Amino acid sequence: MAERSFHKEVQDLKIGDGEEFRGEGILAVTKALLQSGVAYVGGYQGAPISHLMDVLADAEDILNDLGIHFEASASEAAAGAMLAASVNYPLRGAVTWKSTVGTNVASDALASVASSGVMGGALIIIGEDYGEGSSIMQERSHAFAMKSQIWLLDPRPNLPSIVDMVEKGFELSEASNTPVMLELRIRACHVHGQFTAKQNKKPAFTLREAMENPVRDYDRVVLPPSNFKHEIEKVEHRWPAAVKYIKDNKLNEFLGGYKGKTGIIVQGGLYNTLMRALYILGLADIYGETDIPIYCMNVTYPMVDDEIAGFCLDKKSILIVEEGQPEYIEHYINTVLRRQDIKARIYGKDVLPMAGEYTGQVLTEGLRKFFGLGAQKLLAKTAKPRDAISVKNQQALEKTVPGRPVGFCTGCPERPIFTAMKLVQRKLGNIHVSCDIGCHLFSILPPFNIGNTTMGYGLGWSGASAFNTQSDKRTISIMGDGGFWHNGLTSGVGNAVFNKNDNILVIVDNGYSAATGGQDILSSRALNKTKTTNNPISKAIAGLGIKWQRSVNTYDLGAMTKTLTEALTTSDKGPKVILAQSECMLNRQRREKPIRNKMIKDGKRIVRSRFGVDPDTCTGDHACIRLSGCPSLTIKDNPDPLREDPVAHVNNDCVGCGVCGEVSHAAVLCPSFYRADLIYNPNPWDKFRASLRNIIINSLQARGDKRRAKHSFGEI
């Protein structure tokens, strides 16, 4: 069950030639693939292209009608290896994944297909996850493209440009026999717009034809001596062919004015942000029209020497807008100009930050510096700058608006796992915890502050493998079920069994690849009409030789604490695995909430549990918050005028998981938590019981008030 359904939107993928397509960036990419006659698509979900995988999954019927094979790959490596189909056959194929980390996983396959070269167009759609909204190490895909000589497209973030680059990407790949990367930043993935559609195409050459007419060409296999020939091919044939296609088809754009001594060279993906900054400075209008000459690089690798030299020839100063470091583009352009003895002064990282996302604010400040150094008169001739948030106001805003670190969702089944760890560490001392990629990585943040390192998806146990030595303590490693099936089965569990590891692995089995949007995996309990699910992790690890394994309901905090303690203290030697099992609450609510709301609307009786805190009983200890951190658990003013400490409070976001109450009782005896059953559309018996309870409560309340009044009168 994915985070978002596109069943309605994918119907627009059927529109034909000349019709107007309106929608989101990822839908436009899918439509472009269909218009390009692609034969197969695959990939692995991850921000910011998770929704592209969801769109492809929801459009599977449309893909099947066109004879397109779609595969939700087990990992980025599996997706990258799919491109092998394009090496010997004129098959167009596309794969997708999350930028740097995904490309790292797929690196062997990509290096091999880049060496072999391709006959059919091979397109790799990269979700370039760089900048302030990223959750990964800050690296760029540019370095990998250079390393393996894979051409890199970086289109302007509007739908016509993106669609054109998808279609041209296949043609560029075929013209130069080289795989092509298309990088899409998060804003490009989710930008809305429209473009004129074309008719969808069935593959000109099908997978079936390839299977029935196999081709073997030793020159395409990456083994000596072929691999040495591949290197020569890259330099002498593929690169020149790519440059010729880029020039002939004008993939890079010359925009803005055509005259002037000052110019800007910008990555295509940053064009919109650049225009916003120019607009703020009064150097462009609301439609993006400007007199400043701009060379927009929709292809950032390979770069075209003639275009660069021609653009810079009559300029005195050039600003290069290149996000991230190292400054690959700036270095290359400086080399081109020096070799051709072009005197233009290059500005780049000397006026713009070396690292970090180039937001509108960052580019505005950088442009001010550039125009102050290289084009002093230009700003003076323009209209007054538009209003923009000043640095002073920005700092004031940061003081006013509190920081909001990421955390587990309300009712998340992973929260009690780390609550249990904190309780265990109170008794047994601090423990080295090796983290993994996934929602469970939020444990490193307050209030848990648990976790020492994270090395990669499915590498939680491998990250602690060096600590497989004699000690009075054991380490704990974390791994999600998504990471387990991605890489952890062999790199983590298999490695631990083989090396007789004596440490502990906690596998968070919540039924989905939850962190990437709730996609089904092998061990999902859901029934999936196109995939095989319900393959228990317990059987997989038993097959690898794990003898000590325990399954625990994560919401049972007592059992979770007891099992962790047992694993840490048992005299049994060998690898130990705890399967912490409960369904992802976000997916559960997505499934159950619409059903419950409909039943309530239809007048059916529904009972829903809610938890709360009695403010008169709460001591203000707040252990519940320190050991839970649930977003629905907050504080409010103490009703007792003689007590200053605020009391705990459960707001209306509560989903009734009950963890906060269990935490309070496990941490310190706390009678303030209560459970209330909310009854919708009560029947006569419910109403009678409620009336009877009210009579009894009112009677007891009146008796208590009378006693207190008598006691107070006696004191007077």
Mean pLDDT, rounded, for 475-500: 94
pLDDT band for 392, please (50, 70, 90 cuts): confident
| Amino acid symbol at 214 | P
469 and 577 share a domain?
Answer: yes
Least confident of 75-84, 273-282, 328-337, 515-524: 515-524
Poorest-pLDDT segment among 339-343, 366-370, 486-490, 706-710: 706-710
Q: Is 196 helix (H, G, I), strand (E, B) or coil?
A: strand
Higher pLDDT, 401 or 179: 179
3-class DSSP string for 76-104: HHHHHHHCCHHHHCCCCEEEEEEHHHHHH
Type and span of the H or E element at 387? none
Segment 485-503 shows an average pLDDT of 94
Q: What is the C-alpha to C-alpha distance for residues 367 and 387, in angstroms, rounded to an integer?
A: 15
Q: Are residues 278 and 356 in the same domain?
A: yes
Cβ atoms within 10 Å of 259's Cβ, excluding its own: 7
pLDDT value at residue 664: 64
Structure confidence at residue 422 (pLDDT): 92
Residue 548 has pLDDT above 50, yes or no: yes
CATH code for the domain in which residue 622 is found: 3.30.70
Q: What's the mean per-residue pLDDT of the chain?
A: 90
Listed in sequence order, the residues at least 6 apart from 681 whose beta carbon sits closer than 8 Å to its beta carbon are: 600, 603, 604, 605, 606
Phi, psi of 17 (to 5 degrees): -60, 130
pLDDT of residue 662: 72
Question: Residue 634's pLDDT is what?
Answer: 85
| Structural domain contains residue 334 | yes
Position 610 confidence tier, pLDDT thresholds 50, 70, 90: confident
Summarised one tens digit per residue, pLDDT across range 549-597 is: 999 999 999 999 999 999 999 999 999 999 999 998 888 888 888 999 9
Are residue 361 and residue 439 in the same domain, yes or no?
Answer: no
Mean pLDDT of 387-414: 77
State how far the alpha carbon of 443 is from the alpha carbons of 386, 447, 656, in Å. 43, 8, 21
Pick the last residue of a domain from 561, 587, 613.
587
In angstroms, rounded to a whole number, what is the distance separating the alpha carbons of residues 463 and 609? 40
Structure tokens at 21: 């397509």
Rounded Cα distance between 184 and 163, Å, is: 12
Average pLDDT over residues 319-345: 95
pLDDT per residue as tens digits for the range 221-237: 898 998 899 999 999 99
CB atoms within 10 A of CB 509: 26
pLDDT at 566: 97
Instruction: Look at residues 553, 587, 621 and tell me which one is the last residue of a structural domain.
Output: 587
Are 499 and 644 within one domain? no
pLDDT in tens, 253-287: 999 998 889 999 999 999 999 999 999 998 999 88
Co-location of 542 and 652 in the same domain: no
Average pLDDT over every residue of 343-353? 94
CA 554 to chain centre: 25
Task: Find out whether 660 and 624 touch, Cβ atoms under 8 Å.
Answer: yes
Kindly state whether residue 19 falls inside one of the protein's structural domains.
Answer: yes
Phi and psi torsions of 603, nearest 5°:
85, 15
Same domain, 437 and 313: no
Partnered with residue 433 across adjacent β-strands are 476
Residue 273's alpha-carbon distances to 203, 279, 367, 530, in angstroms, are 37, 10, 12, 41
Q: How much of the chain exceeds pLDDT 70, in percent? A: 95
Higher pLDDT, 604 or 379: 604
Tens digits of per-residue pLDDT, 195-221? Answer: 999 999 999 999 999 999 999 998 888
Kindly state whether residue 3 falls inside one of the protein's structural domains.
no
713, part of any domain: no
- Closest by CA to 33, choosing from 158, 133, 166, 223, is 166
- Determine the pLDDT at residue 592: 87
pLDDT of residue 666: 60
Per the domain annotation, does 707 fall within a domain? no
Determine the structural domain holding residue 454 and report its residue range: 415-587
For residue range 127-138, list pLDDT tens digits in order: 988 877 777 778
Question: How big is the chain, counted in residues?
Answer: 716
Residue 242 near residue 252, CB atoms below 8 Å: no
Instruction: Give 536 or 407, the one with higher predicted confidence.
Output: 536
Binned at pLDDT 50, 70 and 90, residue 378 comes out as low
Judge whether 597 lies within some domain. no
Total structural domains in the chain? 4
Q: Are residues 162 and 47 in the same domain?
A: yes
pLDDT at 375 over 80: no
User: According to the model, what pLDDT value does residue 544 have?
Assistant: 94
According to the model, what pLDDT value does residue 586 have?
85
Residue 213 sits in the same domain as residue 235: yes
**In this predicted structure, what is the pLDDT of residue 642?**
79
Domain for residue 593, yes or no? no
Which has more pLDDT, 339 or 48?
339
Identify whether residues 579 and 556 lie together within a single domain. Answer: yes
Within 13 Å, how many C-alpha atoms sit on residue 616's CB side?
0
Beta bridge partners of 40: 69, 93
| pLDDT: which is higher, 485 or 528 | 485
Q: Assign 716 a pLDDT band (cuts: 50, 70, 90).
A: very low
Which residue do the tokens 């009560």 mark? 682
Q: Which residue among 587, 622, 641 closes a domain? A: 587
Question: 235 phi and psi, to 5 degrees?
Answer: -80, -40
Of 59-68, 176-185, 572-581, 669-678, the range with the lowest mean pLDDT is: 669-678
pLDDT surpasses 60 at 713: no
Q: Which of 43-52, 465-474, 698-707 has the lowest mean pLDDT?
A: 698-707
Tokens representing 371 are: 């125009």
Q: How far apart are CA 300 and CA 327, in angstroms?
A: 12
Do 33 and 151 reside in the same domain of the chain? yes
* Mean pLDDT, rounded, for 423-440: 93
Does 121 or 652 have the greater pLDDT score? 121
pLDDT value at position 122? 97
Share of the chain above pLDDT 90, in %: 63
Q: Does some domain include residue 409?
A: no
Return the pLDDT at 383.
47
Please report, for the domain that includes residue 72, its CATH number: 3.40.50.970
| Whole-number pLDDT of residue 714 | 56
In which element (H, E) is residue 395 found? Answer: helix 391-400
Q: Is the pLDDT of residue 393 over 90?
A: no
Q: What is the average per-residue pLDDT within 401-414?
A: 81
Return the DSSP state at 339: H
Residues 215 and 82 in one domain: yes
> Whole-angstrom Cα distance, residue 117 to residue 151?
12
Q: Quote the pLDDT of residue 214.
A: 93
- pLDDT value for 385: 58
pLDDT for 38 equals 97
Identify the bridge partners of residue 194 per DSSP, sorted by sequence position.
22
Do 192 and 46 lie in a common domain?
A: yes
Residue 365 has pLDDT above 80, yes or no: yes
pLDDT in tens, 55-113: 999 999 999 999 999 999 999 999 999 999 999 999 999 999 998 899 999 999 999 99
How far apart CA 548 and CA 501 sit, in angstroms, is 12
pLDDT band at residue 244 under the 50/70/90 scheme: very high
Q: What is the mean pLDDT of residues 535-543?
A: 95
- Token pair belonging to 610: 């809610």
What is the spatial distance between Cα 279 and Cα 269, in angstroms, rounded to a whole number? 17
Per-range mean pLDDT, top range of 236-245, 407-416, 704-713: 236-245
- From CA 591, how far away is CA 708, in angstroms rounded? 50
